[in-house]
Structure 1
């Protein structure tokens, strides 16, 4: 079954070229099923690129999904046309009365700011609290994962001197948790962040379970025991060349960013990257939609509490 998105959203052409089934709203109305309602709070500056990455992963499921793109404020993003934001994004206040089966909150390039110094932190905390009442399961990615851990459990990150940057191997810690179903015992995932939280801090919270971790990258996936809040500290959605683009952008800006680890063959940026994470990234989103959302959400969304 498809994801349902506006017919003229730029992601539709990209996904159609990849033979991914997408459906516009008019056709979706003819389907005699109750589709899942999923919101994406997109905090990344390049909205369109992130939309494509997430919609690609959400599409790999037999479930029909209606997607709302949500913005956190009305400020014009640097790398996305304002017309795109007006045409395809909802202000949070426009959807605050709605309930969702699932919500995805993306990362954000706010690595070195204290949370309280983020210009939209008050709105961010409002949305996080709203999600606990209005969403069956919320998936927080990268910066948003650390921000949610801080807000809900008082766990603060510390900043690394050098960015954790590259593709790292991880070990499944709870193989029978539905989110890890089908995972190999060892798998790879990209990271690009300065923030880190020691594994011991996760384990100190009775309500949390660490599902997968890495000796180099720390906790990768964790969840509350009721499955309503999920934290993923890496970027399973990244395209093959996303880390390369970031590396070359940093080099052009004169930043002393190291070559991303375990990414370029022979650590040589002139070579095409090795892609080792896409199957597990897709499986992570499929498992989240199936086991944490679809099989847990009520048929009547108004029953979410």
Structure 2
């Protein structure tokens, strides 16, 4: 489906045209998405769109036409605009990384709750983020914990480049090291907190995911093996082999995986501390501790 927006098309006309085109393509919330695309590409907020509704879109006409073409193919708005809001901050998103979900904020909240409850918020904590992707976990935690330092690992160098750009944009790049590795291999220093949002979709379920996920998120950021738990097992073994002192563990999990993930780490000597639900009421993050 193609839509051509001309430079002399007004903002109001463009909003109407985008909404109609997205609706005809079966996009679930065409009015909302049209507004987000218009605001993001024109650099306006909602009030500006109303106040300047008779202003021509000008040189942004081509970008708007391309944006609606991409959204019709179910590409997420965050990918079209190249940014995603997470925990009150904007993060760069590229095709090399998982599109951050609001549900992942549960892992951040759980980690911060545990740190605050133990009176450690101002301490010089050492944090590791396994499979960092866009860096949302480590960057957010370092932004919230001004004395903490961290290591972010990923098997994808392209993903690490995105994470590094986000760390620089949010002002924590001087407190984080980015390492291309599996798990924590090669990262020898002890950590106070290990956090991760690993791939946890079972291989057989990937084909049935929503198009916005299946067609646009990197496969390696989704595929958790035959039962979706393979990477958790790898992390559990890796931590036991490398960690030489007690450590807090926080993991994002699939909607039905909490008990299985807790069992995996319990078998490696961890004990369960706490869980956190997402906005949909699913247990989305679990916290454990290993005493060594």
User: Normalized against structure 1, the TM-score is what?
Assistant: 0.33
- Whose radius of gyration is greater, 1 or 2? 2
Higher strand share: 1
